[in-house]
Chain A
Amino acid sequence: MHRLRIKYGKMGRLKFISHLDFICAIERSLRRASFPLVLTKGFNPRVKMSYGPPLSVGVSSESEYMDIFLNNHLSLKEVVDLLNMVLPDGLYIYRAKYVLLDEPSITKFVNFAEYQIEVAVPSLGVSDIKDRIEELFSKKEFKFVKKGKEKVLPTKQAVSRIEINYFELGKATINVLLSIGDLGSVRPEALMKSLFSRPDCDEDYVILNIHRIGLYAKIGDEFYSPIDTR
């Protein structure tokens, strides 16, 4: 058995399909490509695969990862080319690489996600946003709501970095690096809420777009992607 790690993108209209829909679409694409797939045992055999942290519906990404298990070895070029031929528009394979069978899973490995967020903040200027960011990092704890439950993480661990990439006419493009995985996942929406929502006034911000740029493992001070050669 071979374990293939694949880096792919989910863009355009396909950002609207859920993770479960995506899994189904990938399994069918793999069957169309006639890959030598490994099936799970049991009453309902499925294609043996594993995925990274799922994307929310409406969020696009240019760096998602999945592992596919194969019975026979295929060349990496073959994998990328064959699969791209049978994928629906909006899904695209960038790279493939064989990894060891006992390598930790993508979800275990990854602990940070980078997003680019476009947000409309009509009543704020660049310096206001900078102030808000400073204010956020000045607090020791980052509080957010996830599935209706209040959660708390040390700010440094929850949010590694916030950068204003671009600002014009009340619209900001912000790049953020947020905790994801076992230690706690911070959704970009939660960060925006904590930056731009104030209890004393009406919500005056609208998220226009969220795009995932990268998934990383922070080991020491370095960031590694799940497909980097280490």
Chain B
Amino acid sequence: MKNLYPEIENILPSIEKPVRYINSEWNTKRKPVQPDDIVFALAYPDVYEIGMSNLALCILYEILNEQDGVIAERVFSPWVDMEERMREEDIPLFTLESYSPVNECDIFGFTLQCEMTYTNILNMLDLAKIPLLAKDRRDDNPLIIGGGPCVFNPEPLAPFFDLFALGDGENLIQEVADEFKKLKKKGAKKREILKSLAKIQGIYVPSLYKIDHYPSGIIKTINRISNEVPKTVKKRLIGDLDMAKFPVYPIVPFARVIHDRCSLEIMRGCTRGCRFCQAGMIYRPARERSINKLKNLSQNILKNTGYEEISLVSLSSSDYSEIETLVSDLINRYGGDGVAVSLPSLRMDAFSINLAEQIQRVRRTGLTFAPEAGTQRLRDVINKNLTEEDILSTAKLAFQNGWRRLKFYFMVGLPTETREDLQGIVELVNKVVSLGLDIIPPKERCRLKINISIASFVPKAHTPFQWVEQNTLNQLLKKQAFLKKHLRGRHISLSWHEAKLSIIEGVVARGDRRLAGVIKKAWELGCKFDAWREHFDFSKWEKALKEEGLSIDFYTYRERSLDENLPWEHISVGVTKAYFQSEYEKALRQERTDDCRFSSCNKCGVCEVADACPPPRLPTSIMPLGIGGQVVGLMADS
């Protein structure tokens, strides 16, 4: 394969952050290529600092590179300045490790973490000089594959990809690489390769399924074109997380990446059951890594990286059975060396404040609360079961223990939301502020700061809210304006998500295969880095939709009927459609559903597919407060 570095080096001095493109970080792997080896380009479709913060990429990189005859190299979206120079000098997209043209690799795999990176995927294929549509590609083009949370509705990307890998990727990716290697050696053609890979559980080959629509646009049928592929593709699931490989030689980036620390996944999945939360549904069931394994991993990772912070990652870290023991063990062992522990997602209760206190012994941390909604009624609708009393007593404890700045996450546009719910956010925040002023000594009162972050609710596939209509742009803007008007004061600072971005995210998240044309058109009109406010251009997306004869109204401003065929009907996350429907109905009745780890089974369906799944352990220390999905985040203060 050609080494493009000499050409790249010439343009680096004129680039804003050359550090994004120089490889050479500690723990990068550079394996020499032998005949019959397969080269796997692992891509994150955003800039280096975002991509290098992604744990999935880090896991797959180490797993693939440990495999014999497999070489994995990283690829990120070049930033706009780099892209411009690359196009001027006719330098194609390259891998970081060997600076090989991506088009000469065997497999080009993308992790799909966010819908708003889709135009970047097309841009990367184009920069790599690879035809965008799978049907236009030749046998010597790389196989284009995708994994990650967005593949549970892969349809808007279907025409661009050869296959999607659904669910836990650790074993799945090895099986794909192995099978591909065998077939490549045999000289198999792409058609044959796809048919063969489609037999692996968790692999979805979109070209082997045909979608028909009614004139209204609603899906009539989803048919397979071969009996050899499954009717419904089920996600892969690793029952025992201790059996899943976790990287102990993660790459230590030079540039300040978003999560510049050692990430240790302590648990996968969450059963709190927040009805808006896609992660809480698609990663079920909740599985823990054993504490001994985690102690071992943390020791090795710290030794191999030199990181000064270890982050205990999961969807709800205080639900980890032995979280207290784990945190105190890590602090006792490494705190003296200045190595801090951080917990990005905790429940909002006294127990979590105690944990935060422990963590503070090493390094100051910030506290983040996520009540999501302003009234008890709406919190019951979304199944975020914490009371105002919980929130205020936790905030009180935080102030008493020396915290002066708290961050709160709320959402607007949730189903059934009314003016009272927005007023509820205002009242709750004001109560927290006056509580702070009461407790904090006069001298320190000026330091009291409540940071409020307002997101817009986006209905997602495979959730109880997959049928609901999203708030229109106007509704969202009005709600934001209301909060901007009423959430004022010297102790309050407010930030919000771009509403237009949430609308397009809503369109794509529940889009069908026809939407691929819109994504392609949007890219042709110049859309890329859509997740970046300064690059996102709503008018181009509107134009693309119009030119393709599709509408925002159809995809997201419309309530879907319960018997409508959804674009992801043939994709299974384990949780049944019947369960989503019953949760939706309960939401409308404002009925809660308890966490199955602390009460009886809710029959969501996932445990029937998870045959290797161990029964969940009860975290005894936090039992009394254990209902609802309260989340508190602890991150290093920056």
Where the two chains meet, the residues of A that have a C-beta atom closer than 8 Å to any C-beta of B are 12-14, 16-18, 20-22, 24-25, 27-32, 34, 37, 39, 43-47, 57-58, 86, 88-90
Contact B337–A32 (Cβ < 8 Å):
no
Complex-state Cα separation, A17 to B637, whole angstroms: 25
Complex-state Cα separation, A37 to B22, whole angstroms: 29
> What's the minimum C-beta distance from A212 to chain B, rounded to whole angstroms?
16
- 5 further A-B contacts with Cβ under 8 Å, apart from A17-B19, A34-B303, A88-B24, are A22-B254, A27-B308, A43-B364, A47-B338, A90-B24
Contact A28–B307 (Cβ < 8 Å):
yes
Within 8 A of A (CB), among B1-19: 9, 12-13, 18-19
Contact B13–A24 (Cβ < 8 Å):
no
Contact A17–B308 (Cβ < 8 Å):
no
Q: What are 17 A-to-B residue pairs whose CB atoms are below 8 Å?
A: A12-B24, A14-B24, A17-B22, A17-B255, A20-B256, A28-B306, A28-B308, A32-B26, A32-B305, A34-B303, A43-B363, A44-B363, A45-B338, A46-B338, A58-B12, A86-B26, A88-B254
Contacts of B134 in A (CB 8 A): none
B252 at the interface (CB under 8 A from A): yes
Contact B338–A32 (Cβ < 8 Å):
no
Closest A-B pairs by Cβ, 8 of them: A28-B306, A31-B306, A16-B18, A32-B306, A43-B364, A13-B22, A45-B338, A21-B254
Contacts of B18 in A (CB 8 A): 16, 57-58
Within 8 A of A (CB), among B230-262: 252, 254-256, 260
Contacts of B472 in A (CB 8 A): none
Closest to A89 in B: B24
Contacts of B9 in A (CB 8 A): 13
B81 at the interface (CB under 8 A from A): no
Contact B256–A24 (Cβ < 8 Å):
yes
Contacts of B290 in A (CB 8 A): none
> What's the minimum C-beta distance from A70 to chain B, rounded to whole angstroms?
13
Closest to B13 in A: A58
Contacts of B306 in A (CB 8 A): 27-32, 86
Closest to A45 in B: B338
Complex-state Cα separation, A74 to B35, whole angstroms: 47
B304 at the interface (CB under 8 A from A): yes
Contact B26–A28 (Cβ < 8 Å):
yes
Contact A32–B304 (Cβ < 8 Å):
yes
Most buried by B among A17, A29, A34, A47: A17
Complex-state Cα separation, A45 to B334, whole angstroms: 13
Contact B12–A16 (Cβ < 8 Å):
yes
Contacts of A20 in B (CB 8 A): 256
Contacts of A27 in B (CB 8 A): 306, 308
B547 at the interface (CB under 8 A from A): no
Complex-state Cα separation, A88 to B25, whole angstroms: 6
Contacts of B252 in A (CB 8 A): 25, 28
Where the two chains meet, the residues of B that have a C-beta atom closer than 8 Å to any C-beta of A are 9, 12-13, 18-19, 22-26, 252, 254-256, 260, 302-308, 337-338, 362-364, 637
Contact A24–B363 (Cβ < 8 Å):
no
Complex-state Cα separation, A86 to B305, whole angstroms: 9
**A16 with B256: in contact, given A32-B303, A44-B364, A47-B338 (CB under 8 Å)?**
no
Complex-state Cα separation, A188 to B310, whole angstroms: 41
Complex-state Cα separation, A37 to B18, whole angstroms: 31
Closest to B302 in A: A31
Secondary structure of the B side of the interface? Answer: loop
Contacts of B637 in A (CB 8 A): 43-44
Contacts of A16 in B (CB 8 A): 12, 18-19, 22
> What's the minimum C-beta distance from B128 to chain A, rounded to whole angstroms?
22
Complex-state Cα separation, A43 to B22, whole angstroms: 33
Contacts of B363 in A (CB 8 A): 43-45
Complex-state Cα separation, A37 to B306, whole angstroms: 12
Complex-state Cα separation, A151 to B337, whole angstroms: 44
Complex-state Cα separation, A44 to B364, whole angstroms: 7
Contact A21–B303 (Cβ < 8 Å):
no
Contacts of A14 in B (CB 8 A): 22, 24
Complex-state Cα separation, A22 to B24, whole angstroms: 13
Complex-state Cα separation, A12 to B26, whole angstroms: 15
Complex-state Cα separation, A27 to B307, whole angstroms: 9
Complex-state Cα separation, A45 to B18, whole angstroms: 29
Contact A13–B24 (Cβ < 8 Å):
yes
Complex partner residue of B23 from A13, A24, A32, CB under 8 angstroms: A13
**A39 with B256: in contact, given A13-B24, A32-B304 (CB under 8 Å)?**
no
Complex-state Cα separation, A20 to B17, whole angstroms: 13
Most buried by B among A16, A27, A31, A90: A16
Contacts of B13 in A (CB 8 A): 58
**A88 with B19: in contact, given A31-B306, A43-B364 (CB under 8 Å)?**
no
> What's the minimum C-beta distance from B313 to chain A, rounded to whole angstroms?
20
Closest to A20 in B: B256
Complex-state Cα separation, A103 to B362, whole angstroms: 30
Contact A31–B337 (Cβ < 8 Å):
yes
Closest to B21 in A: A16
Complex-state Cα separation, A43 to B254, whole angstroms: 24
Contacts of A25 in B (CB 8 A): 26, 252, 254
Complex-state Cα separation, A25 to B260, whole angstroms: 12
Complex-state Cα separation, A30 to B303, whole angstroms: 11
Contacts of A39 in B (CB 8 A): 337-338
**A17 with B305: in contact, given A44-B364, A45-B363 (CB under 8 Å)?**
no
Complex-state Cα separation, A12 to B24, whole angstroms: 10
Contacts of B19 in A (CB 8 A): 16-18, 21, 57
Contact B337–A37 (Cβ < 8 Å):
yes
> What's the minimum C-beta distance from A28 to chain B, rounded to whole angstroms?
3
Closest to A21 in B: B254
Contact A17–B254 (Cβ < 8 Å):
yes
Closest to B9 in A: A13
Complex-state Cα separation, A25 to B255, whole angstroms: 9
Complex partner residue of A24 from B254, B337, B364, CB under 8 angstroms: B254
> What's the minimum C-beta distance from B484 to chain A, rounded to whole angstroms?
33
Contacts of A57 in B (CB 8 A): 18-19
Complex-state Cα separation, A134 to B112, whole angstroms: 61
Complex partner residue of A88 from B26, B255, B256, B362, CB under 8 angstroms: B26
Closest to B15 in A: A16
Contacts of B256 in A (CB 8 A): 20-21, 24
Contacts of A28 in B (CB 8 A): 26, 252, 305-308
Closest to A33 in B: B306
Contacts of A44 in B (CB 8 A): 363-364, 637
Contacts of A34 in B (CB 8 A): 303
Complex-state Cα separation, A12 to B9, whole angstroms: 10
Complex-state Cα separation, A22 to B25, whole angstroms: 11
Contacts of B12 in A (CB 8 A): 16, 58
Closest to A38 in B: B338
Complex-state Cα separation, A18 to B23, whole angstroms: 15
Complex-state Cα separation, A102 to B307, whole angstroms: 30
Complex-state Cα separation, A29 to B27, whole angstroms: 12
Complex-state Cα separation, A39 to B339, whole angstroms: 11
Contacts of B304 in A (CB 8 A): 32
> What's the minimum C-beta distance from B615 to chain A, rounded to whole angstroms?
39
Contacts of A58 in B (CB 8 A): 12-13, 18
